Structure 1
């Protein structure tokens, strides 16, 4: 693939758009970002806050610790952090730099300021509205469809910014329909690594750092440590343990950034850490490692495109399958090995649901990485799932579309039931 090709430029740009740093689980951080922009628009500290959020946002914010808040959880904590200590210019790193005294100010704000939370039923899966009041003045900010996509800003009823929301289309991003496995394979084999290394190096550095942190200290259910303590010390188990440990730390208050994939830190960890572990233990060149990382990330993004940002389908599955793709490349697999790895892995783990961000995400990540590796191992042993075996279709693209349809359309009602269970309805 030549640098002048449309897909070449698009694939580099897609990686730039999706692989960005974030501090904390991205749904509460998106909420904190909206709150920070609302407070900035208002111009003063508010005396009342109203949050309206879609069910999937409520689900993903409910149980995860918001960093730099003294281990607080939930929507009010995320909003308060953005209002009191947020830097609106930093977007998904909005609360990366919180002073020690501000942690106490966040707690005081929560105690003294009414913050209401409403279930927003707009028909948009990813939808946040934050309205702040100070006396007779007010400001409102809406984010829709993805984490930094501010579509409306108001102050005292005057519209300062208004971007029409047409369903769940991500109109401001590079066309994801250009992605397919055949062209992704061509891209990763021909790309000038210097074009992608500046995007991938921060992911490698940050995500490996938080994985090491999770293996070193006490976070959540310590799934990474459990794997490493109880299972054989193979490269595969090392990859599973480290990916899980990164999530252990991230979901349980670790104040270290990660580079995300498809809007998710857990997916960014899952798509990168196992690939780096295999690359290092196989002793491959740095160039081959970066090609494998590009393959893993683009495969994950391609799978997530038909699903959407949020769903009842666990996003770590797509990233685990991506990791399996990257590992197959590191082990010398060709295109045929790649696509059979993807198909096999998707057939194994296409039923894991997302019940919000929390400690158990780490265990799901370990399962997803295991499936990605098993998908490769199956094919290398002459075994595969065939079209007609459940969701398995004819060809890798059919499988990705089938799972996308299941996750986006088939699991809508499942998502609603999960949300009702989680909020006690």
Structure 2
């Protein structure tokens, strides 16, 4: 198995809008296409992480409207699952108006699925004639594990173990990989891989350019520079770049970005940080693109231990690990000790950052990740870093990441339900 090609195929793809509500829309679209008639009722069940991530983020092509519920209704109206993770790009004002009619008529309902661990979206539709259709996406944002119209079942991979999809084969391989093997995989990226990675760079730079016009996080970092409270150096310019791209996404701008680990904001950090740093440091482009390949691999590697939607912030920690290691690769090549130090440094620094859902504030976390990734890499390049004598850092990068995964998946198991309770209480008020 070529692990890089598998990661690029399944975890690195164009997505318009926050990937959780987009996946809700996609699940709804599959069910709606099977139903083939107007709905009388739609019932959605989401895992806590997906529910959390879609509550406060703006939806593309809606003039700033927010939420999973609207995204699900739009997916029903569109009924075009073939658009995959760019499904909301097919929406217009008429789509949004029809979706809002469904919400105003109280035909769309959504709840957190009980006792579900891992990525899970279920959409069950009932038509005006009484006909039903059901779709379940689980394990990843695009993987349909169940699809049926009434008793006519087209896809059935149930029962799911613990209500989640079994790990894909490439994820099992990724989880067993060593840092050296991931470095080798990135170093051996072929021209097809590099061309696809370059496409992601171009997409994310376009999103950053669009975000420049918004008076959000990127704007205020530029204001700090203008007022001479910050210098316009490599770190500031990279933070502005990544912040503006995240600003555009979280604002619901109709622009696709190349995701990483099935997350758009992770794609922003994973791709743009090593790209910008590499260009500023005059690294040759092929090496930069290979470093981004490593960034994608490590982002995915962290997430097989922490979970798809973890209580900790993926766009800061998992993507930050990838970006930091990529910068070290640009300067030191396949030096396992140096890359290990960079990973230990950034996890020791921001490893406890919480995820409280997708929203405008994600750009702040992207900025923190950008800053931490560059700082961690610089120290590691010069052979300084946090070692196993401190905190939960392990003897190897693999051990540190496994420790982080245990803290996230076991130690913080009650964090997501608690955050969802807080968010739901705010909605009730």
Note whether the superposition's TM-score is higher than 0.5: yes
Per-residue CA deviation, residues 281-325 of structure 1 (Å, 9 max, x unaligned), is: 222222111111111111111111111101111101110121111
- 1:205 is matched with 202
Q: Is the 8 A contact 2:214 2:247 kept in 1?
A: no
Q: Is the 8 A contact 2:341 2:384 kept in 1?
A: no
Specify whether residues 281 and 187 from structure 1 end up closer, same or farther in structure 2 by C-alpha distance, changes over 3 A only: same
Q: Is the 8 A contact 1:86 1:94 kept in 2?
A: no
Cα offset for 1:413? Answer: 1.2
Query: Higher mean Cα deviation, 53-62 or 99-108?
Result: 99-108
- 1:257 is matched with 256
Cα offset for 1:103? Answer: 3.0
Q: Is the 8 A contact 1:17 1:173 kept in 2?
A: no
Cα offset for 1:249? Answer: 1.0
Task: Give the distance between the partners of 2:63 and 2:218, measured in 1 at CA.
Answer: 24
Unaligned runs of at least 5 residues, structure 1? 1-5
Task: Give the distance between the partners of 1:139 and 1:234, measured in 2 at CA.
Answer: 55
Q: Is the 8 A contact 1:53 1:128 kept in 2?
A: yes
Per-residue CA deviation, residues 360-410 of structure 1 (Å, 9 max, x unaligned), is: 111111111211111122234553212131111111111011111111111
Matched residue count:
414
Unaligned runs of at least 5 residues, structure 2? 225-229
Residue pairs, 1:239-318, within 5 angstroms:
239-316=238-315, 317-318=317-318
Cα offset for 1:347? Answer: 0.7
Q: What TM-score, normalized to structure 1?
A: 0.92
Cα offset for 1:268? Answer: 0.7
Task: Give the distance between the partners of 2:277 and 2:382, measured in 1 at CA.
Answer: 19
Residue pairs, 1:69-148, within 5 angstroms:
69-135=62-128, 136-148=130-142
Q: Is the 8 A contact 1:69 1:107 kept in 2?
A: no
Q: Is the 8 A contact 1:66 1:74 kept in 2?
A: yes
Q: What TM-score, normalized to structure 2?
A: 0.92
Q: Is the 8 A contact 2:328 2:380 kept in 1?
A: no
Cα offset for 1:125? Answer: 2.6
Query: Higher mean Cα deviation, 177-186 or 261-270?
Result: 177-186
Specify whether residues 170 and 202 from structure 1 end up closer, same or farther in structure 2 by C-alpha distance, changes over 3 A only: farther
Task: Give the distance between the partners of 1:191 and 1:383, measured in 2 at CA.
Answer: 29
- 2:392 is matched with 391
Task: Give the distance between the partners of 1:169 and 1:83, measured in 2 at CA.
Answer: 24
Cα offset for 1:172? Answer: 3.7
- 2:187 is matched with 189
Q: Is the 8 A contact 1:325 1:342 kept in 2?
A: yes
The root-mean-square deviation of aligned C-alpha atoms, in Å, is: 1.8
Q: Is the 8 A contact 2:131 2:150 kept in 1?
A: yes
Q: Look up the SS of the partner of 1:293 in the other structure.
A: helix
Cα offset for 1:178? Answer: 4.3
Task: Give the distance between the partners of 2:33 and 2:381, measured in 1 at CA.
Answer: 56
